[in-house]
């Protein structure tokens, strides 16, 4: 009987030790996504709409304070590991395709040592967001599975685009030839583009040119380059990825100027850059004259 009791006590002791940490010996922990000294999860779990003091960060109303606060609170409930973030190409120092920065403490004058702000960044891995908090020399980082926050970031630049039917029928050939030339030049220089798409052709305004009493019309022109491999794109000159994984801001075509020449019974055209000068009428007139010699 004594031997049975001894064996039972040994078994109980072994089970107890299996579930406890030995004094003075730290047990190995599973690696989490926390880095730095700021506890990001606690920070975002307690954020509210009034936590964001800088008005201009919400001036375009594409994301409201309330939407952002709700999305951050929800994000705090499902933290991911550092390995998840690194596999998605979002290790600290790597840029996501869609990012936004918001102050939690500070003023409208920019970033100073006393400010605290959040940097939110995501890529093509659905719902995975990197959240980094900064204050002075301190920072904290975590990765979260956050569908609402991810969609706010990825679709932040989305806007309704119009390709008007009449100007498209009238000017698509000249616009298409110019975009095709840009596309081919990009491909020849190693960009992994597979095609392009016109996303906007929309009337903006007209001028009366008093030098010949003609009317010059100005249209907005926007287009994107298509790619199956955003990760291979050489990002330069303000290029960005839109929410449909198409590349915007390739080349410098941004406007179309048109003028009807009654003597030749035809519409004259000239493509203009994205940058609108102080005297747009003069720019359009000179471009149309240079592009459509009449002698």
Rounded mean pLDDT of the chain? Answer: 87
Statement: residue 8 has pLDDT above 70 = no
38 vs 106, residue with greater confidence: 38
Q: Which of 91-95, 97-101, 278-282 is predicted least confidently?
A: 91-95
Q: What is the pLDDT of residues 221-271, one digit of tens each?
A: 999 999 999 999 999 989 999 999 999 999 999 999 999 998 878 999 999
Tell whether the model's pLDDT for residue 215 goes beyond 70. yes
Closest C-alpha among 108, 133, 129, 107 to residue 118: 133
**Is it the case that residue 27 has pLDDT exceeding 50?**
no
CA–centroid distance for 207 within its chain: 35
Q: Residue 70 — very low, low, confident or very high, per pLDDT cuts 50/70/90?
A: very high
- Predicted pLDDT at 15: 35
Q: Please check whether residue 224 is in contact with residue 247, taking contact to mean a CB–CB distance below 8 angstroms.
A: yes
Tell me the domain boundaries of the chain: 35-154, 165-291
Lowest pLDDT segment from 29-33, 187-191, 192-196, 278-282: 29-33
Chain Cα centroid distance, residue 206: 33
In the structure, what pLDDT confidence band is assigned to residue 20 with cuts at 50, 70 and 90? very low
Q: Is the pLDDT of residue 49 over 70?
A: yes
Name which of 108-112, 130-134, 291-295 the model is least confident about: 108-112
Q: Residue 94: which of 241, 213, 249, 231 has the closest Cα?
A: 231
Asked if residues 259 and 268 have their Cβ atoms less than 8 Å apart, the reply is yes
Averaged pLDDT for residues 58-69: 95
**In the predicted model, what is the mean pLDDT of residues 111-130?**
91
Q: Is the pTM of this model over 0.85?
A: no
Query: Across the chain, how many H-helices and E-strands are there?
Result: 7, 11
Q: Can you tell me the mean pLDDT for 50-65?
A: 93
Cα–Cα separations (whole angstroms), residue 32 to 45, 73, 96, 124, 141: 17, 19, 20, 22, 10
25 has pLDDT over 90? no
pLDDT, position 93? 86
- Statement: residue 34 has pLDDT above 80: no
More confident call, 294 vs 168: 168
pLDDT of residue 276: 96
CA distances to 53, 95, 129 from 235, in Å: 32, 11, 21
- SS3 call for 205: strand
> pLDDT at residue 160 above 60?
yes
**Measured between alpha carbons, how far is 143 from 88 in angstroms, rounded to an integer?**
10
Q: Which residues pair with 75 in a beta bridge?
A: none
Model pLDDT, residue 42: 95
Average pLDDT over residues 83-97: 92
């Amino acid at each position: 009987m004594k031997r049975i009791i001894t064996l039972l006590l040994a078994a109980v002791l072994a089970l107890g030790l299996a579930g406890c940490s030995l004094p003075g010996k730290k047990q190995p922990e599973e690696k989490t996504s926390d880095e730095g000294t700021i506890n990001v999860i606690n920070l975002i779990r307690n954020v509210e709409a009034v936590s964001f003091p800088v008005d201009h960060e919400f001036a375009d109303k594409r994301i409201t304070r309330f939407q952002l606060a709700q999305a951050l609170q929800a994000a705090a409930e499902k933290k991911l590991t550092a390995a998840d973030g690194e596999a998605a190409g979002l290790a600290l120092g790597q840029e996501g395709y869609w990012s936004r920065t918001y102050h939690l403490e500070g003023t409208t004058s920019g970033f100073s040592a006393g400010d605290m702000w959040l940097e939110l960044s995501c890529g093509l891995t659905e719902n995975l967001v990197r959240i980094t908090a900064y204050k002075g020399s301190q920072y904290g980082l975590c990765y979260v599975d956050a569908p609402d926050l991810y969609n706010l970031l990825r679709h932040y630049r989305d806007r309704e685009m119009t390709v008007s039917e009449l100007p498209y029928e009238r000017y698509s050939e000249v616009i298409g030839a110019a975009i095709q030339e840009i596309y081919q030049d990009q491909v020849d220089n190693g960009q992994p583009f597979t095609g392009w798409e016109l996303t906007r052709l929309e009337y903006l305004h007209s001028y009366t040119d008093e030098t010949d009493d003609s009317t010059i019309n100005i249209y907005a022109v926007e287009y994107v380059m298509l790619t199956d491999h955003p990760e291979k794109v050489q990002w330069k000159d303000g290029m960005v990825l839109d929410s449909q994984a198409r590349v915007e801001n390739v080349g410098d075509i941004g406007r179309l100027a048109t003028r009807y020449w009654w003597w030749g019974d035809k519409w004259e055209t000239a493509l203009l850059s994205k940058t609108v000068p102080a005297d747009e009428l003069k720019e359009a007139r000179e471009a149309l004259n240079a592009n459509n010699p009449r002698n």
